[in-house]
Amino acid sequence: MCNPSIAILGAGAIGQLIYHQLVKAELAPYFITRGKTSGQEVLTLTHLNGQVTQSTAELHCIASSDTYKSECLLLSNTRLLIVCVKSYQVLDAIKSAISQLPKSCHILLLHNGLGPHLEVEPLLQGRGLSLGTTSQGAFRQDTWRLKQTGTGITQIGHLSGPLMPSALKLSLLRAIPDSEWCTPILPYLWQKLAINAAINPLTAIENCPNGALAAPKYKQEIDDIVTELVDVAMATGIELDKLALTNRVYSVIELTSANFSSMHQDVTNKRRTEIDSINGYILARAKEYGLTTKVNLSLVKRIKSIEASYLN
């Protein structure tokens, strides 16, 4: 049995990448799943340099009646829950596990976009909540075979409730490459939101890699996306530098020019996108403050129309 202090909820690409990094740091995390049975799986990671490493992961299902008592015991000893599911899955994921987690368990949300934290906070009953974002890249070659595709900064910071224990914080920062603790965290997440809001929907709509957005024909739309976001962020009390943020968007477009965004991949594979927590979050906050966000609204409508063509 693994050391049950750190659990990862969500075994997608980022969840598995974080798992491998924690294992390398000898933190021995385990996965919480919503499958029918608990057990073990051999996870394989192909690193950027071609090196291949494997580890055996513990998978614990909270819905398995035959192991219910043992799973409750395991969750009751968990000190940190890292949630790596899609943004639209966060609320249900937390609901499925929260009653079995100790009041001392700290929650870290690590997903695209913003918004789920507003729904999650009322459910935590005094538990601490941190938020994070990562620019690391990876994709699943198979269910448990992962290939790392890029390095990047991981930014984590406290949002509400009790602070993450110092030992856990230091362990995370040591385990995850190029990670940093950011205080306050929300300005950093708004900056990441601007990058996602500009790149994700446009690449999905235009069916193009990130680098194509450097073309002059997209300049006005990208400028408008960022301008609207900066205005909304300001209304919420977060001041962002529009010029610096726009330059950062174009820097990411250049650095990831050959990559396809997550939203492009979702649309290509006919999956639900995370538009609601990206451009949709901008709309939701704008509505609270009576602001108009025409360009972001147009993008949301266009992505929703594409989704409707294959989800309905």
Domains and CATH numbers, the chain: 6-182 (3.40.50.720), 187-311 (1.10.1040.10)
Q: What is the pLDDT of residue 73?
A: 62
- Contact in structure between 193 and 187 (CB atoms under 8 Å): no
Tokens (6 digits) for 208: 């193009």
Tokens (6 digits) for 115: 């918004």
Task: Please tell me what DSSP assigns to residue 165.
Answer: P
- Closest-CA residue to 57 (of 101, 2, 134, 13): 2
Q: How far apart are CA 269 and CA 74, in angstroms?
A: 36
- Contact in structure between 80 and 105 (CB atoms under 8 Å): yes
Q: In whole angstroms, how far apart are CA 283 and each of 26, 81, 165, 245, 311? A: 42, 29, 35, 19, 22
- Contact in structure between 45 and 16 (CB atoms under 8 Å): yes
Query: Model's pTM, two decimal places?
Result: 0.94
Beta strands in 154-239 (DSSP E): 154-160, 179-181
Q: What is the pLDDT of residue 72?
A: 59
Q: What is the pLDDT of residue 98?
A: 92
Q: How far apart are CA 117 and CA 130, in angstroms?
A: 9
The one-letter amino acid at 17: L
Q: In what order do the strands lie in the sheet with 106-110?
A: 137-142, 145-150, 39-46, 52-61, 30-33, 6-9, 80-83, 106-110, 129-134, 154-160, 179-181
Q: What is the pLDDT of residue 71?
A: 55
Q: What is the pLDDT of residue 63?
A: 60
Q: How far apart are CA 147 and CA 140, in angstroms?
A: 6
Q: How many CA atoms lie within 13 A of 39 on its CB side?
A: 6
Instruction: Provide the residue-wise pLDDT of the chain in tens; the chain has 312 residues.
Output: 445 599 999 999 999 999 999 999 999 899 998 766 678 999 999 999 999 999 999 998 876 444 444 555 667 889 999 999 999 999 999 998 998 899 999 999 999 999 999 999 999 999 999 999 999 989 999 999 999 998 999 999 999 999 999 999 999 999 999 999 999 999 999 999 999 999 999 999 999 999 999 999 999 999 999 999 999 999 999 999 999 999 999 999 999 999 999 999 999 999 999 999 999 999 999 999 999 999 999 999 999 999 999 998
Q: What is the pLDDT of residue 76?
A: 81
Q: How far apart are CA 304 and CA 276, in angstroms?
A: 9
Q: What is the pLDDT of residue 66?
A: 45
Q: What is the pLDDT of residue 64?
A: 47
Phi, psi of 208 (to 5 degrees): -140, 160
DSSP, collapsed to helix, strand or coil, labels residue 9 as strand
DSSP result, 111-132: -SSS-HHHHHGGGSTT--EEEE
Residues annotated as part of the active site: 192
- Contact in structure between 135 and 160 (CB atoms under 8 Å): no
The one-letter amino acid at 258: A
